[in-house]
């Protein structure tokens, strides 16, 4: 059955017109996206560099200069720029005189809601962890996110023992999270009561990363201790 | 076909602020409304980002409204909206990585904010660019205002702060549930209740006034 309205419908749009419109819009869209990407790329890269730098200098006290290395089975490679090397990225932090103050590395472990990503700083001088900063978490606000704000918990990472055993192949003591208030040894982390799972995740992340990374770093410590040349000069030039 | 009304009135602008407020009246775009309003600054940033996408896509769609065949209009609108969302995404990363991390996936999800597609279909594609812009500004402000209403209440109750500033001192025990998803529903419900009550009161007052004059 056909109604008068149905007969009065305008003729169907030719397919060519539709394709023309879609192609036109897609090209315009591509142009705008590429333009924005090109304009914002250097600013975003600079933001990311600054964010990493700020985090590295938080976990390595006294550090003012950083240089990046990649560590893998073959050894230690400085990160120069474009070429990417497979391996674990570590950040070495130096003070104004070019002394190695610590090495920062990323770690992650499953928390209550999602992976907790963090950065920790290892000081080869005291063979201990001198700082920890949470980079990304999805923990419950007010409970799990206390791992960032709780002063007592953060104090665990001022001098957390991470000595290696005598032959340097593993940690002398595994880093563990213990029940709130029961910390007895320097390699233990006092949990936050009410945020045990998140606290344990932090301990687990650091332990897993440290027991692999620290024995691997050890043979290269001398190389890491060489003062960084280029960034140091820049630092002086900035003054 | 709906006839284009060329005149731009004050109503074109205020429609989105109050009478057709996208959140409190039309209940559109609930996903960002509930998800990112756990602090005032997130709510404000989300509101501004959405306003930009709404305005830019509305303008472009309004300019092209006679050239878009109706069979492919939805696809075209989505591509246009997605383009501006990508632009916003990069821009926010360039402005502040902290803000970008706080807003998470919800920036990209502006693409599927039904308020924007709704305005494109119901308004921008049927009106002159200038009128679409004026209406879009109104809608954007209305949306941002609604997000701020939620964000401010949730941040004050849930964290005891406003725009990151401590309000009550260390003795305040934050009402954490307000920062969690249920808090979003509770606060939205409370606001809707308030708006509905005000609307009914106004209507009753108008009825009484009409009865008296008779």
pLDDT in the model for residue B27: 86
How many CB pairs (< 8 A) connect A and B? 67
Pairwise CB contact (< 8 Å): B69 & A18: yes
Distance from CA of A46 to the nearest CA of B (A): 9
Summary mean pLDDT of chain B: 88
Interface residue A22 vs chain B (CB under 8 A): yes
Under the banding of pLDDT at 50, 70 and 90, the label for residue A27 is very high
Domain membership of residue B85 (yes or no) is yes
CB-side exposure of B202: number of CA atoms within 13 Å?
7
Neighbouring CB atoms inside 10 A of B85's CB total: 24
What angle, rounded to 10 degrees, do the helices at B129-159 and B40-63 form? 170
Q: Domain residues for A116?
A: 45-238
Select from B104, B114, B109, B138 the least CA-distant residue to B29: B114
Angstrom distance (rounded) from CA A131 to CA A152: 13
Residues of B in contact with A10 (CB under 8 A): none
Alpha-carbon distance B18 to A40, whole Å?
Answer: 36
**Is residue A49 a part of any domain in this protein?**
yes
Displacement of CA A133 from its chain's centroid (Å): 9
Test B176 with A43 for CB contact under 8 angstroms.
no
- Report residue B8's pLDDT band, with 50, 70 and 90 as the boundaries: confident
Q: Give the whole-angstrom CA distance, residue A192 versus residue A203.
A: 12
Q: Does B72 touch chain A (CB under 8 A)?
A: yes
**pLDDT higher than 80, residue A233:** no
Instruction: Specify the 3-state DSSP secondary structure of A140.
Output: coil
Contacts of B155 (CB under 8 A, 6+ apart): B38, B39, B40, B161, B162, B163, B179
Residue B167 lies in a domain: yes
What was the pLDDT predicted at A195? 87
A222 CA: distance to closest CA in chain B (Å) = 35
Tell me, what's the pLDDT at B86? 94
Alpha carbons B106 and B86: distance in angstroms, whole number: 12
First-to-final CA distance of chain A = 87
How much is the pLDDT for B16?
A: 82
β-strand pairing of A88-94 with A75-78: unpaired
| Chain B positions in Cβ-Cβ contact with residue A21 (cut-off 8 Å) | 67-69, 72, 76
- Assigned domain for B6 exists: no
B5, part of any domain: no
What does the alpha-carbon distance between residue A176 and residue A188 come to, in Å, rounded to a whole number? 5
Q: What is the DSSP letter of A97?
A: T
Per-residue burial over A43-80, b = 16 or more CB atoms within 10 Å of its CB, e = otherwise: ebeebeeeebbebbbebbeebbbbbbbbbeeeebeeee
Residue A82 has a pLDDT of 60
Q: Which of B68, B82, B93 sits opposite A44 (nearest CB)?
A: B93
Q: Which of A24, A29, A49 to mutate to test the interface with B (most CBs of B within 10 A)?
A: A29
Q: Is B105 on the interface with A (CB under 8 A)?
A: no
The pLDDT, as a whole number, for residue A237 is: 44
State the ipTM, two decimals.
0.80
- Å between A47 CA and nearest CA of chain B: 7
pLDDT, greater one: A120 or A139: A120
Residue A150 within any structural domain of the chain: yes
pLDDT recorded at residue B82? 94
Instruction: List Cβ neighbours of A153 (8 Å cut-off, separation of 6 or more).
Output: A146, A147, A189, A190, A191, A192, A199
In this prediction, residue B24 carries a pLDDT of 86
Residue of A nearest to B99 (CA): A47
Q: For residues A209 and A75, which has the higher predicted lDDT (pLDDT)?
A: A209
Distance from CA of B209 to the nearest CA of A (A): 45
A40 min Cα distance to partner chain B (Å): 6
Distance of CA A74 to the CA centre of its chain: 23
B94/A44 Cβ within 8 A = yes
What's the rounded mean pLDDT across residues A192-208?
Answer: 90
Domain count, chain A: 1
Into how many domains does chain B fold? 1
Per-residue pLDDT reduced to its tens digit, A170-182: 888 888 898 888 8
- pLDDT for A10 equals 63
- Spell out the residues 6+ positions from residue A35 whose beta carbon is closer than 8 angstroms to its own: none
CB proximity A13 to B under 8 Å: yes
- pLDDT of A236 above 50: no
Taking CB atoms and an 8 Å cutoff, what residues of chain B touch A134?
A: none
Please give the Cα distance from B53 to B96 (Å, whole number).
19
As a whole number of angstroms, the distance between CA A195 and CA A146 comes to: 7
What is the maximal distance between C-alpha atoms in chain B?
Answer: 63
Higher model confidence: residue B6 or residue B83? B83
The CA distance from A194 to B180, in Å, is 17
Domain that holds residue B111: 12-213
Cβ–Cβ under 8 Å, residues B112 and B104: no
Domain annotation covers residue A18: no
Residue A148: predicted pLDDT: 86
Mean pLDDT of A34-50: 92
pLDDT in tens, B162-198: 888 888 877 888 888 888 889 999 999 999 999 889 8
Residue B137 inside a domain? The answer is yes
A48 contacts B75? CB cut-off 8 A:
no
pLDDT at B51: 94
| Highest-scoring range by mean pLDDT, A101-105, A164-168, A235-239, B79-83 | B79-83
pTM, rounded to two decimals: 0.77
Mean pLDDT of all residues in A47-74: 85
* Å between B19 CA and nearest CA of chain A: 34
- Partners of A37 on chain B (C-beta within 8 Å) are 90
Any CB–CB contact under 8 A between B94 and chain A?
Answer: yes
Which parts of chain B fold into alpha helices (H)?
A: 10-17, 30-35, 40-63, 73-95, 97-103, 114-122, 129-159, 181-213
The mean predicted confidence, pLDDT, of chain A is 83
Burial class (CB in 10 A: 0-12, 13-18, 19+), B123: buried
Q: Does residue A16 fall inside a structural domain?
A: no
pLDDT at A104 over 60: yes
- Percent of chain A with pLDDT strictly greater than 70: 89
A21 with B68: Cβ contact below 8 A: yes
């Amino acid at each position: 059955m056909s109604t008068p309205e149905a007969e009065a419908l305008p003729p169907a749009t030719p397919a060519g017109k539709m394709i023309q419109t879609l192609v036109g819009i897609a090209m315009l869209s591509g142009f705008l996206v590429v333009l924005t990407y090109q304009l914002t790329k250097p600013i975003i890269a600079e933001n990311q560099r600054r964010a990493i730098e700020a985090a590295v200098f938080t976990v390595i006290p006294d550090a003012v200069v950083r240089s990046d290395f990649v560590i893998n089975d073959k050894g230690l490679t400085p990160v120069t720029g474009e070429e990417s090397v497979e391996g674990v990225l570590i950040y070495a932090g130096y003070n104004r005189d070019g002394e190695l103050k610590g090495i920062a590395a990323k770690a992650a472990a499953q928390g209550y809601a999602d992976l907790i990503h963090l950065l920790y700083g290892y000081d080869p001088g005291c063979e201990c962890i001198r700082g920890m900063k949470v980079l990304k978490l999805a923990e419950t606000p007010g409970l799990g996110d206390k791992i960032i704000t709780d002063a007592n918990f953060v104090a665990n990472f001022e001098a957390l023992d991470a000595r290696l055993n005598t032959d340097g192949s593993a940690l002398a003591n595994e880093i563990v999270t213990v029940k709130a208030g029961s910390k007895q040894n320097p390699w233990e982390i006092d949990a936050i009561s009410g945020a045990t799972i998140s606290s344990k995740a932090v301990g687990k992340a650091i332990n897993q990363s440290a027991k692999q990374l620290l024995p691997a770093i050890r043979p290269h410590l001398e190389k890491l201790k060489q003062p960084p040349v280029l960034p140091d000069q820049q630092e002086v030039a900035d003054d | 076909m709906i006839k284009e009304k060329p005149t731009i009135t004050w109503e074109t602008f205020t429609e989105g602020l109050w009478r057709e407020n996208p959140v409190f009246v039309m209940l559109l775009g609930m996903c960002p409304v509930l998800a990112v309003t756990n602090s005032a600054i997130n709510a404000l940033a989300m509101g501004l980002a959405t306003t930009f996408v709404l305005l830019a896509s509305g303008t472009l769609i309004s300019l092209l409204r006679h050239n878009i065949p109706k069979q492919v209009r939805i696809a075209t609108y989505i591509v246009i909206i997605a383009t501006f969302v990508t632009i916003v995404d990069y821009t926010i990363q360039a402005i502040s990585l902290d803000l970008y991390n706080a807003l998470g996936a919800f920036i990209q999800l502006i693409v599927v904010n039904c308020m924007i597609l709704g305005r494109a279909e119901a308004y921008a594609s049927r009106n002159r660019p200038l009128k679409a812009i004026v209406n879009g500004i109104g809608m954007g402000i209305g949306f941002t205002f609604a997000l701020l209403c939620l964000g401010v209440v949730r941040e004050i109750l849930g964290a005891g702060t406003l725009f990151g500033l401590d309000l009550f001192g260390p003795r305040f025990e934050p009402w954490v549930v307000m920062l969690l998803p249920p808090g979003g529903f509770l606060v939205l419900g409370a606001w809707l209740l308030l708006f509905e009550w005000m609307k009914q009161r106004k209507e009753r007052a108008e009825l009484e006034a009409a009865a008296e004059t008779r």
